[in-house]
Amino acid sequence: MTQTLPPLVTEAAALSVAGAGLLRYEVGPALIGTGADATVVIVTPGGGPRVSGIQDSTRVLLHGDMGPALHTRFEFRDAPPTHLFARLDQGCLPIGTARCRGRGGPSAHFSHAVLELDQPLSRAVLDAVRPAPAPEPVPGVEWVDLVETDPIRALESFVLGWFPTEETESAEHGSRAGGPACLPEALGAFHRLARLRPAIHRFHDPVLRRPELTSGPLGDRLVFAVGDGASMDWSIPWPPEGPDEADPRVWHTEDPHDSAPETILEEEPLSRFLLQFTLFQAQIAAPYHARTYCMPIARLDALWNMLRPVPLSPFLPTYEAERFFVAPGLLATVSSDEDEAVVSFGALHRGALTPLLEHGFRWFHFDG
């Protein structure tokens, strides 16, 4: 059934909701009106991550210079009601009431605020106030063909395609950041790649610019990555030795600073582990996300026509084993047992998520 939009109103009618004593403020592209009865926020259509506008069906982001006069208008408690409108070609579309769920900057002069709608927007309203962008070029997934035969090249191809070029680090700085001499080939390749795409050194859980030598029950180790605020790390024997010297096995240690840390051996050797690690972190760092509620595993059948599996063992960064799948411009992980599954997606562009609506999943979070 076709959904209809609420009737449009003029800007003056929208601002009149604020009541007597109207004052107007321009905050970035948004117009804010304050009065005795309410605060009115009129936003322009669109919005992307960290960009002022409508983020999804429940959140609106305001970015701009908000002086002391707006301080009490964006308190979490005891603030006057906030009414939101979106400015369309023919008028202003009412999109509901909201409250401030977070803001940044000094308390009397903050620079951004997150407004949460009291009622989520319908799909019809969301499509009207946050139009689907034009299709953009997305990286392919040909690198998956290399995973089993040449994981280092697969990693390079994925990173160079997924992350945009930016000002790169000098070779001199990169050589200092590489840590001990004679790193294993895969780790050395990762650091060389990071000089071309510095974004991979800015992950939430980073591969260290300077791998750290340490000792413990397993002997001397080289810690090359840390996670969860340094409450876990990943390391290789140092110096590498034995049959795995060229591509050493990886140890995952929980609470590495405890007297008796828990350590397990990762399924994948270093070259394939670095690809696992990068895929997982790239999905977290993606600008757009979606995540389903837990559902019967049979519900995933329709996805296999659009997603290509990455031939790596399940990755266990925390408590859920993640299997990786990809499509152009899209990363996906599936956490499942024999009966149920949760699917998470990371996308470079919002449009890569929109086709997922056709599958009728219940979404815990959806940026598309």
| H or E element at residue 207 | strand 207-214
Residues 57, 109, 56, CA angle at the centre, nearest 5°? 5
pLDDT at 305: 87
Phi/psi-derived region of residue 176, left when phi > 0, alpha when psi is between -120 and 50, beta in every other case: alpha
pLDDT at 109: 65
What's the sign of the alpha-carbon dihedral 288, 192, 243, 260? negative
pLDDT at 85: 96
Contact 177, 210 (CB under 8 A): yes
For the range 163-166, what are the long-range contacts, defined as Cβ-Cβ under 8 Å and sequence gap of 24 or more?
163/197, 163/199, 163/200, 163/282, 164/199, 165/196, 165/197, 166/197, 166/198, 166/199
- Give the closest residue to 197 by CA, choosing from 118, 139, 271, 150: 139
pLDDT at 172: 44
Average pLDDT by stretches of 10, the chain with 368 residues = 79 96 92 95 82 86 84 82 94 93 68 89 89 79 96 97 79 46 88 94 90 82 84 87 84 80 89 96 94 93 91 77 91 90 93 89 89
Amino acid at 119: Q
What is the C-alpha separation between 219 and 115, in angstroms, rounded? Answer: 52
pTM, full prediction: 0.82
pLDDT at 177: 43
What is the C-alpha separation between 134 and 114, in angstroms, rounded? Answer: 26
